[in-house]
């Protein structure tokens, strides 16, 4: 795929000019545009799935699931905007009326990673244009074909020129785009390191919105359930779907000591059966490769580092192909490690921590600076209530995988996982701001105190 340097100055200027007209369009016009976009995307569902598979190496079933999730997210943003940004007006007799309306932010930068190259960008772009913004979209260079397919669908949907533009550039382009004076806000999904760099780059500029959707060192806790096989399946789905290359994948398995052996035995047996392969393989794989050889080498080195610090392998990690980034899923018991790294090990690597009681399980789930997603498998309603109340994550599940897609609800993390600007159903909050107005048909005033009598 040929790439070319982007003239950010020209794109931002064009976006600013396009925004002026787009923001003035009736909401019904923008809703129609989003509906047409949904139709254009749906018509090319097969092409999107195949392109995502080529970009990421993920199995076709997983790519089709992403396409369906993306279509649902775009379609659902209309209802979300109507709910979150509804026009409200309250009449108060002689005092006129009080109204609340929402204005678009202006020009928004959308910066995303490779992991879900259709779902993630559209989760930002669709609500942004619906609210009346113009968008400059900086995709991951490792998933550029999917981004260009999105761009083509936007054109086919008949949106006005320059409402959405793609910035195809390398190096510091994302930082330069975010920091540009012509950009009013930044919607970012990606690694915590890049998110922190963005926050530093635009620090001291309170007039520029920054929404951060970042990674996680996510915990899945298994507790007092007789359904060992079901629990094991949820653990494997949470840890190894998309080869662990999803922000919501489980990185840590916290399990009650008394049930650790049967659970870990079931998890290992299931993990041993995982088929790793390319999307085009005759036998349908569960896992594809990591995004590149550098990522695969780094994860193998992390596994070796954990072993050297006291981790006990339950299932070893191995490079399955020296030329391509296929690796086997790995499980390692880190209970006895004195210091566990609080980092997002981005791939199919699950760390096991055995604990004696539920309070310790909650403490271990919270033993991280991240706060994206947690899940309790098993336990009672009372224990889940304690878990929900005390574990600090933006997504908290019970007897569901950590990767569960949740339509129609907000989605975001805290700590190093986000900055309290959730996406999903609440994405509209980052695309428009409320304007409150006191309104009367005619000027009317009275001052009754503090004035000398008329002479």
- Cβ-contact 417, 394 below 8 angstroms: yes
Asked whether residue 170 falls in the same domain as residue 283, the answer is no
With bands split at pLDDT 50, 70 and 90, how would you rate the model's confidence at 359? very high
Indicate whether 356 belongs to any domain: yes
Q: By C-alpha distance, which of 109, 107, 118 is closest to 174?
A: 109
- Cβ-contact 82, 102 below 8 angstroms: no
3-class secondary-structure state, position 291: coil
Q: Looking at the predicted structure, is the pLDDT value of residue 5 above 80?
A: no
3-class secondary-structure state, position 323: coil
pLDDT at 253: 99
For the chain, percent of residues with pLDDT exceeding 90: 91
DSSP code of 428? G
Asked whether residue 157 falls in the same domain as residue 229, the answer is no
Q: Look up the domain containing 22 and give its range.
A: 8-214+418-439
* Size of the chain, expressed as the number of residues it contains: 455
Mean pLDDT of 270-299: 97
pLDDT digits (tens, 9 = 90+) for 54-86: 999 999 999 999 999 999 999 999 999 999 999
What sign does the CA torsion over 341, 345, 351, 353 have?
A: positive
Angle at 425 between CA 197 and CA 384, to 5 degrees: 90
pLDDT digits (tens, 9 = 90+) for 285-328: 999 999 999 999 999 999 999 999 999 999 999 999 999 999 99
With bands split at pLDDT 50, 70 and 90, how would you rate the model's confidence at 390? very high
Distance CA 356, CA 242 (A): 32
**For 47-154, where are the E strands, in sequence order?**
88-91, 97-104, 107-112, 134-138
Q: By C-alpha distance, which of 328, 330, 325, 331 is closest to 296?
A: 325
Indicate whether 366 belongs to any domain: yes
Indicate whether 451 belongs to any domain: no
Q: Looking at the predicted structure, is the pLDDT value of residue 263 above 90?
A: yes
Report residue 356 as tokens.
Answer: 């004696």
Q: By C-alpha distance, which of 42, 30, 211, 214 is closest to 126?
A: 30
Asked whether residue 238 falls in the same domain as residue 260, the answer is yes
**For 194-247, where are the E strands, in sequence order?**
209-213, 218-223
Asked whether residue 137 falls in the same domain as residue 157, the answer is yes
pLDDT at 445: 85
pLDDT at 6: 64
Distance CA 101, CA 442 (A): 21
Asked whether residue 112 falls in the same domain as residue 237, the answer is no
pTM of the model: 0.95
pLDDT digits (tens, 9 = 90+) for 32-46: 999 999 999 999 999
Mean pLDDT of 355-379: 99
Dihedrals phi, psi of 165, to nearest 5 degrees: -130, 150
- Cβ-contact 344, 309 below 8 angstroms: no
**For 243-288, where are the E strands, in sequence order?**
250-256
Asked whether residue 239 falls in the same domain as residue 381, the answer is yes
Indicate whether 374 belongs to any domain: yes
Task: Give 15-28 as a 3 state SS string.
Answer: HHHHHHHHCCCCHH
Distance CA 169, CA 269 (A): 44
Question: How far is CA 252 from its chain centroid?
Answer: 19
Asked whether residue 224 falls in the same domain as residue 109, the answer is no
With bands split at pLDDT 50, 70 and 90, how would you rate the model's confidence at 2? very low
Asked whether residue 196 falls in the same domain as residue 109, the answer is yes
For the chain, percent of residues with pLDDT exceeding 70: 98
Helices (H), 309-372: 358-365
Q: How many domains does the chain have?
A: 2
pLDDT at 444: 85
Give the CATH number for residue 72: 3.40.605.10
Q: How many CB atoms lie within 10 A of CB 341?
A: 14
Asked whether residue 268 falls in the same domain as residue 380, the answer is yes
Distances (CA, A) of 181 to 78, 209, 377, 429: 29, 12, 47, 21
Asked whether residue 228 falls in the same domain as residue 202, the answer is no
Give the CATH number for residue 268: 3.40.309.10
With bands split at pLDDT 50, 70 and 90, how would you rate the model's confidence at 171? low
Q: Looking at the predicted structure, is the pLDDT value of residue 4 above 60?
A: no
Indicate whether 404 belongs to any domain: no
């Amino acid at each position: 795929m040929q790439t070319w340097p982007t003239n950010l100055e020209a794109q931002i200027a064009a976006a600013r000019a396009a925004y002026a007209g787009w923001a003035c369009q009736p909401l019904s016009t923008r809703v129609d545009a989003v509906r047409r976009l949904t139709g254009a995307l749906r018509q090319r569902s097969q092409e999107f799935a195949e392109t995502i598979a080529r970009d990421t190496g993920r199995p076709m079933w997983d790519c089709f699931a992403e396409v369906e999730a993306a279509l649902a997210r775009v379609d659902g943003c209309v209802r979300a905007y109507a709910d979150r940004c509804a026009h409200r007006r309250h009449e108060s007799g002689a005092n006129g009326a009080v109204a609340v309306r929402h204005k678009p932010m202006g020009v928004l930068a959308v910066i995303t990673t490779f992991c879900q190259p259709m779902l993630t960008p559209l989760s930002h772009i669709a609500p942004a244009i619906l609210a009346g913004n113009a968008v400059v979209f900086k995709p991951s260079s490792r998933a550029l074909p999917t981004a260009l397919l999105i761009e083509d669908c936007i054109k086919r949907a008949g949106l006005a020129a320059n409402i959405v533009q793609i910035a195809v550039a390398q190096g510091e382009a994302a930082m330069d785009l975010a920091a540009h004076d012509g950009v009013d806000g930044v919607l970012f999904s990606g690694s915590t390191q890049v998110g922190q760099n963005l926050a530093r780059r635009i620090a001291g500029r309170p007039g520029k919105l920054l929404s951060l959707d970042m990674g996680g060192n996510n915990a899945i806790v298994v507790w007092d359930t007789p359904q060992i096989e079901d629990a094991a399946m949820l653990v494997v789905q949470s840890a190894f779907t998309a080869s662990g290359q999803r922000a919501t994948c489980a990185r840590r398995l916290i399990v009650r000591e008394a049930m650790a052996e049967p659970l870990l035995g079931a998890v290992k047996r299931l993990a041993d059966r995982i088929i790793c392969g390319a999307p085009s393989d005759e036998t349908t794989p569960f896992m594809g490769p990591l995004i590149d050889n550098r990522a695969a080498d780094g994860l193998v080195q992390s596994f070796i580092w954990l072993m050297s610090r006291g981790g006990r392998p339950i299932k070893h990690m191995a490079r399955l192909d020296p030329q391509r980034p296929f690796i086997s899923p790995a499980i390692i018991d880190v209970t006895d490690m004195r210091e566990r790294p609080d980092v997002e090990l981005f791939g199919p690597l699950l760390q096991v921590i055995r604990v004696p009681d539920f309070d310790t399980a909650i403490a271990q789930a919270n033993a991280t600076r991240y706060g994206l997603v947690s899940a309790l498998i098993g336990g009672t309603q009372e224990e889940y209530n304690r878990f929900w109340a005390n574990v600090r994550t933006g997504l908290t599940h019970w007897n569901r995988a950590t990767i569960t897609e949740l339509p129609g609800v907000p989605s975001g993390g805290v700590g190093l996982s986000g900055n309290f600007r959730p996406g999903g159903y609440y994405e509209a909050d980052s695309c428009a701001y409320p304007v409150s107005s006191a309104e009367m048909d005619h000027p009317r005033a009275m001052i009754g105190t503090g004035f000398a009598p008329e002479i």
